Amino acid sequence: MTAATVAAARGRGRTAGHRVRPRKVAARVGFYILIVAFVVGSLFPFYWIVITSLKTPAELSAGTTSLLPGHVTFGSYSADLTQTSTTGLNFGRSLLNSAIVALSTTAITVVIAVLAGYALSRTRMRAKGPVLGFVLIAGFFPPLAMVGPLFLAYRHISLLNSYPALVITYLIYTLPLATWFLANFFSQLPRQLEEAAVVDGASRLQALRRVILPVAVPGIFTVAILSFILAWNDFAFAVSFMETPDKYTAPLAIIGLGQSQYQVFYNRIDAAVVMVTLPVALLVIFAQRRIISGLTAGALK
């Protein structure tokens, strides 16, 4: 029907017309073995985690290496979400903490980066080059080289063990990328859009909000997804700034569970691993292209 189907049909016809040579068959078999090996290698650890999380503690004590659960139970999940350990760790709470911090980071990143990206692509400010350069360099700043002074600063203003400490700090992961990406994105939009709005009497901020933002939704969406993932994945800052288990983010809680092995079974840890991975895994499956173009700041289209 379409050009693609026609091309596919023609391609098939061509291969059918060729005489099948043993070397080609071997190459093809090797190719598929390679693909299968990659898929198995990528997914097997994850499969194992899912299976283990569905086992009962009794089954686990008989060995962790069986590939099918004898008796599927979601007990580990409900235990993770409801039970609070003696140290005060509740994984449901940790997931909530992670969600609050990651979503706040995303919202703040989008607002600040939209403003900065717009200014960098649409005004004649002189410091454009230096600001872009600084933002790029900030994106390369080693997180562990900031953590000491920031710890002291947050302690001084009583922000340790609080959401704002993480949200502010996570902007180092998200803002440089988001600003660069949006500056690139805005500069590809036609200028006539806002010119018309401004001529109609709108202020420039109004023009940005009413005319540019609706058109920029795809770019903003990309930036939001990336910001969420980057904030959700952090461990270094969370382990440095969050002191009591009720404030732990999910990755921190998983390491906490892993270190108290004498109490916690693998099925509980693995259920937590599944839960922390699920949101990002869904984003990866459904928004892969956006994630890649965002991570390379649009350097590769």
Contact indicator for 101, 170 with CB cutoff of 8 Å: yes
Question: How many alpha carbons fall within 13 Å on the CB side of residue 115?
Answer: 6
> Least distance in Å: CB of 116 to another protein?
4
Q: What is the distance between the alpha carbons of residues 237 and 248, in angstroms, rounded to a whole number?
A: 11
**How is the chain classified by DSSP, letter by letter?**
--HHHHHHHHHHHHHHHSPPPHHHHHHHHHHHHHHHHHHHHHHHHHHHHHHHHTS-HHHHHT-S--SS-SS---HHHHHHHH---TTS--HHHHHHHHHHHHHHHHHHHHHHHHHHHHHHHH---TTHHHHHHHHHHHTT--GGGTHHHHHHHHHHTT-TTSHHHHHHHHHHHHHHHHHHHHHHHHHTS-THHHHHHHHTT--HHHHIIIIIHHHTHHHHHHHHHHHHHHHHH--HHHHHH--SGGG--HHHHHHHHHHTTTT--HHHHHHHHHHHHHHHHHHHHHSHHHHHHHHTTTS--
Provide the minimum distance between the beta carbon of 149 and another protein in the complex, in angstroms, as a whole number. Answer: 4
To another protein, the closest distance from the beta carbon of 294 in angstroms equals 12
Cα–Cα dist 205/131, whole Å: 21
Closest distance to another protein from the beta carbon of 120 (Å): 7
CB of 211 to another protein, least distance (A): 11
Nearer to another protein, 22 or 41 (CB): 41
Is 90 or 98 the residue whose CB approaches another protein more closely?
98
Minimal distance, residue 68 CB to another protein, in Å: 14
Give the residue with the Cβ less far from another protein, 80 or 234: 234
CB of 84 to another protein, least distance (A): 21
